Amino acid sequence: MAIERHHVKSKLAVAYQLSNLPETADHIPDTELLRESSLRRMTRKYYKVYLKPDQGRKSKGIIRIERLKYGRFKLRQESRTKVVRASELGRAVHRLTGDTRYLIQRAVNSVTRDGRHFDLRCHALRIDGEWRAVGICGRLGERGSIVTTSHSGGTPTSLRKLFRRHLKYTDREGIRMVRRIRKLIIHTVSNVSKMYPNLQEFAVDMGLDTRKRLWIFEVNIEPLIEGNFKLLPDKTLYRKISRLRKLAK
């Protein structure tokens, strides 16, 4: 009997897999399954954490918890905010997550010089058996937003503009960074493809903190390019990915 492969997404399984690989381990933010015990431990250890549905997409259900003074915590989901006491945190979180499986992850300070959240969308294809990074763009979150996707007001932006205008990198710094990103993409997708051997396409969502460290937020399986590359003013990358996709099939 043929074994059917289902491409079940699990951010947590991917994070575990990558945290066991020397080339990617240092790029995985501390991540655990959300439970009462991990909520307590992680909120004590880190001043900000993200809660994400294990099978989530398009930033749906994402929650951020920030530790405030005097044993209080601020919860944010989309534009809603709530401040609770430590003793109420577990219950407040459960009210938002319900029984959905969530992970809890250390927050990465991936912000521009003027404090907007951003991340990197990195598209990879396997062509003739070899993984290639075929397109990278930035995504700038709306001012004040905790996520960057276009579905929640984010703006896809070319890497050049992101690096120059929003991060104030010199050309040399930009070139170096692109090299590092590409290397990390290839290590990441080569490894994750062992979990999904039939897939020829992934997109890695990466953070880049103010100390120039790269962090992997998630690896998307069956990624779309309409909500990111297609929205760039210059359609060159969008066309390139569309064209190369056919070769990867």
Ligand X SMILES: Nc1ncnc2c1ncn2[C@@H]1O[C@H](COP(=O)(O)OP(=O)(O)O)[C@@H](O)[C@H]1O
Residues that bind ligand X (CB under 6 A): 29, 50, 52, 56-60, 62, 105-108, 110, 117, 119, 147-148, 205, 207, 217-218
Strand partners, 67: 73
Q: How far is the CB of 106 from ligand X (least distance, A)?
A: 6
Chain residue whose CB lies nearest Mg ion: 205
Binding mask 9-48 for Mg ion (x = CB under 5 A): ----------------------------------------
Q: Nearer to ligand X by C-beta: 96 or 127?
A: 96
Residue 29 touches which member of ligand X, Mg ion, none, C-beta under 5-8 Å by kind:
ligand X
Q: Which does 105 bind (CB under 5 to 8 A by kind): Mg ion, ligand X, none?
A: ligand X
Report DSSP letters for 43-110, one per residue.
HHH-SEEEEEETT--TTTT-EEEEE-STTEEEEEETTEEEEEEHHHHHHHHHHHHTTS-EEEEEPP--
Virtual CA dihedral for 75, 18, 189, 147, nearest 10 degrees?
Answer: 10
User: Total residues contacting Mg ion (rule CB under 5 A)?
Assistant: 2
Binding to Mg ion, residues 188-227 (CB under 5 A): 205, 218
Q: Please state, in angstroms and rounded to a whole number, the distance separating the CA atoms of residues 196 and 164.
A: 36
Q: Which is nearer to Mg ion, 73 or 196 (CB)?
A: 196
Q: 218 vs 92, 160, 202, CA distance in Å?
A: 25, 23, 10
**Residue with smaller CB distance to ligand X, 67 or 106:** 106
CB of 5 to ligand X, least distance (A): 21
Cβ proximity to Mg ion: between 105 and 169 the closer is: 105
Picking from 112, 144, 131, 153, the residue whose alpha carbon sits closest to that of residue 204 is 131
Tokens of 201: 């396409």
